[in-house]
């Protein structure tokens, strides 16, 4: 469990966060089943990684405000930048498999920022910021287009989501972003649409999530796609027909533990092709090219 105030890990059964003393979110038990826990608010305390400090500001459309020192650098999708101080230096870093990412509608240019200086990020949509501390070797998987910013000691890669059903029915896209801490502790900040809930799955425990609802998961949590006929309690054939007529998805993403999964209360906005306007910001391809052609803009 993660503290919603300071993002520190909370031991199972603890009533208060050992880091900041805030009350621990209460788990709702229904029989032997634990319901997902709501992240009741954006992180309220200053988050520090090395000589970098991060503040989450605002409510409806939150802003990630980063104060960079001289050592820690960050990377981000260019269109999520909101403001920066003039002395904050911007750059670009290359990604492997750029051609595959381009045709999948993913970013092919990732921007970097170096301090000292101030820089802020936001997506153009209501939601909640999730700050995930990663220890050495720890990895998480994130839905595309929902990553905001990460410290440079976290490696950024992606992988192909196997299974035709995932592509045709689950709206999960072809690729999923993976972030892994390779050089000490790092941090990844995500934008969840609506409110965010966290579920900690026990070994072998499963949870079926509407395909647009999942935000992130621990890398060891397995993900597959099942139909409502395969999902227990789906109501059989009549249940599947009822879901189809009612406009409800007939496919679900099944997650199998052990590990954590983050769920968002608003359905994810499907990615648009590079260069097209989309919820959560616009593509950086046109912006980059236009900046070269029109340096005065």
Q: Is residue 56 part of a domain?
A: yes
Q: Is residue 5 part of a domain?
A: no
Residue 280 pLDDT exceeds 60: no
Q: Is residue 288 part of a domain?
A: no
Q: Is residue 6 part of a domain?
A: no
3-class DSSP state for residue 165?
helix
Radius of gyration of the chain (CA): 20
Listed in sequence order, the residues at least 6 apart from 15 whose beta carbon sits closer than 8 Å to its beta carbon are 23, 24
For 153, which DSSP code?
T
Instruction: Read off the pLDDT of residues 158-204 as tens digits, 9 standing for 90 and up.
Output: 887 765 455 544 455 567 899 999 888 899 999 999 999 999 999 99
Q: Is residue 289 part of a domain?
A: no
* Residues spanned by the domain of 185: 35-274
Query: What would the two tokens of residue 230 be?
Result: 């395969």
Whole-model pTM?
0.74
Choice between 141 and 93, residue whose per-residue pLDDT is larger? 141
Instruction: Read off the pLDDT of residues 218-265 as tens digits, 9 standing for 90 and up.
Output: 999 999 888 766 555 555 555 555 555 544 556 788 999 999 999 999
Query: What would the two tokens of residue 229 be?
Result: 């006929």
For 212, which DSSP code?
T
Q: What's the pLDDT score for residue 243?
A: 52
Q: What's the pLDDT score for residue 240?
A: 52
Query: What would the two tokens of residue 33 be?
Result: 């089943």
Mean pLDDT for the chain overall: 78
Query: What would the two tokens of residue 88 be?
Result: 């904050």
Any idea what the CATH number is for the domain that residue 69 is in? 3.60.160.10
Listed in sequence order, the residues at least 6 apart from 158 whose beta carbon sits closer than 8 Å to its beta carbon are 97, 101, 106, 144, 175, 176, 177, 178
Of residues 85, 93, 44, the one with CA closest to residue 68: 85
Q: Give the mean model confidence (pLDDT) for residues 283-292.
A: 45
Q: Give the mean model confidence (pLDDT) for residues 21-49.
A: 75
Instruction: Read off the pLDDT of residues 119-138 as tens digits, 9 standing for 90 and up.
Output: 999 998 899 999 999 999 99
The span from the CA of 91 to the CA of 111, in Å, is 6
Q: Is residue 1 part of a domain?
A: no
The span from the CA of 201 to the CA of 257, in Å, is 5
Q: Is residue 60 part of a domain?
A: yes
Cβ–Cβ < 8 Å for 178, 219: yes
Q: Is residue 101 part of a domain?
A: yes
Cβ–Cβ < 8 Å for 183, 243: no
């Amino acid at each position: 469990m993660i503290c919603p105030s300071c993002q520190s890990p909370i031991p199972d059964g603890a009533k208060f966060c050992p880091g900041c003393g805030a009350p621990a979110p209460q788990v709702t038990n229904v029989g032997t089943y634990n319901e997902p826990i709501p992240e009741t608010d954006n992180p309220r305390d200053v988050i520090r990684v090395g000589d970098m400090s991060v503040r989450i500001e605002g409510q409806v459309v939150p802003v990630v405000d980063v104060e960079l020192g001289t050592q820690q650098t960050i990377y981000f999708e260019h269109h999520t930048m909101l403001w920066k101080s003039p002395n904050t230096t911007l750059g670009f870093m290359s990604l492997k498999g750029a051609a595959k990412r381009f045709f999948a509608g993913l970013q092919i240019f990732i921007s970097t920022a170096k301090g000292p200086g101030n820089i802020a990020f936001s997506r153009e949509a209501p939601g909640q910021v999730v700050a995930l501390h990663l220890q050495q070797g720890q990895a998480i998987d994130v839905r595309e287009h929902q990553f905001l910013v990460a410290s440079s000691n976290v490696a950024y890669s992606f992988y192909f989501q196997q299974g035709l059903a995932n592509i045709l029915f689950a709206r999960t896209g072809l690729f999923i972003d993976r972030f892994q801490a390779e050089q000490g502790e790092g941090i990844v900040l995500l934008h969840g649409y609506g409110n965010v809930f966290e579920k900690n799955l026990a070994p072998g425990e499963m949870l079926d999530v509407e395909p647009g609802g999942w935000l992130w998961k621990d890398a060891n949590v397995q993900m597959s796609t099942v139909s409502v006929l395969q999902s227990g309690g789906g109501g059989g054939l009549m249940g599947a027909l009822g879901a189809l007529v009612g406009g409800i998805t007939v496919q679900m993403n099944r997650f199998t533990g052990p590990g954590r999964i983050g769920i968002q209360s608003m359905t994810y906005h499907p990615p648009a092709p590079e260069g097209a306007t989309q919820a959560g910001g616009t593509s950086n391809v046109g912006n980059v090219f236009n900046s070269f052609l029109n340096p005065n803009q």
